[in-house]
Amino acid sequence: MATITLKGNTIHTAGELPKVGTKAPDFELVKNDLSKASLKDFAGLRLVLNIFPSLDTGTCAASVRQFNKLAAGLENTKVLCISRDLPFAQSRFCGTEGIDNAITLSDFATGKFGKDYQLEIVDGPLANLHSRAVVVVDETGTVIYNQQVPEIVDEPDYEAALKALK
């Protein structure tokens, strides 16, 4: 179990993020058109998994905007923005915000992604949502960077995540 905070109050996640050097766990998430997406669908690409509780919070929205902007110039790289928001809400957000370099995926159906990546929040007011985390995966499916953001209202370290891709 990992300990993080929400506005200074201690909460916990299911465990530790996938370790650097290990294969990223496969997943099946829901795209905006309600079709499924898995890790295998992105084989051969570098991935930035931008994971957060909900697009309906300022910090989560800011991380999607920032990674969308930063991803525009990255070759062979996709940014996957993952939450338990409904795909309809994710689609509406991206349309309103002009998000076109990031892909939103939802774990609303099963929550299995949050459990498999050990970032499901297990207590406190955000229980069952995802913690704020970044996992970077190389072309071979290997984790090359991870960050469990210690204070959930803080933004992730964009620079460090992108540095892992250089």
The per-residue pLDDT for range 11-42, each reduced to its tens digit, is 999 999 999 999 999 999 999 999 999 999 99
Range of the domain at 26: 3-163
Cα distance between residue 159 and residue 144, in whole Å: 14
Per-residue confidence band for 94, with pLDDT thresholds at 50, 70 and 90: low
Per-residue confidence band for 62, with pLDDT thresholds at 50, 70 and 90: confident
Task: Say yes or no to pLDDT of 60 above 70.
Answer: no
| Mean per-residue pLDDT, 137-156 | 95
Q: Which residues pair with residue 13 across a beta bridge?
A: 121
User: Which one-letter DSSP state was computed for residue 41?
Assistant: G
| Annotated catalytic residue, options 60, 64, 82, 135 | 60
What's the total number of domains in the chain?
A: 1
Which residue, 58, 93, 64, is CA-closest to 79?
64
Is 94 in the active site? no
Q: What's the confidence (pLDDT) of residue 116?
A: 97
| Mean per-residue pLDDT, 79-89 | 91
| Mean per-residue pLDDT, 124-136 | 95
Cα distance between residue 97 and residue 149, in whole Å: 24
Cα distance between residue 126 and residue 129, in whole Å: 6
Segments in 5-118 forming alpha helices (H): 58-71, 87-97, 112-116
Q: What's the confidence (pLDDT) of residue 95?
A: 63
Q: Mapping DSSP to helix (H, G, I), strand (E, B) and coil, where does residue 102 land? A: strand
CATH number at residue 29: 3.40.30.10
Q: What's the confidence (pLDDT) of residue 21?
A: 98
Token couple for 108: 């609303």
Task: Say yes or no to pLDDT of 102 above 70.
Answer: yes
Per-residue confidence band for 119, with pLDDT thresholds at 50, 70 and 90: very high
Cα distance between residue 104 and residue 84, in whole Å: 10
CB atoms inside a 10 Å sphere around CB 136:
24
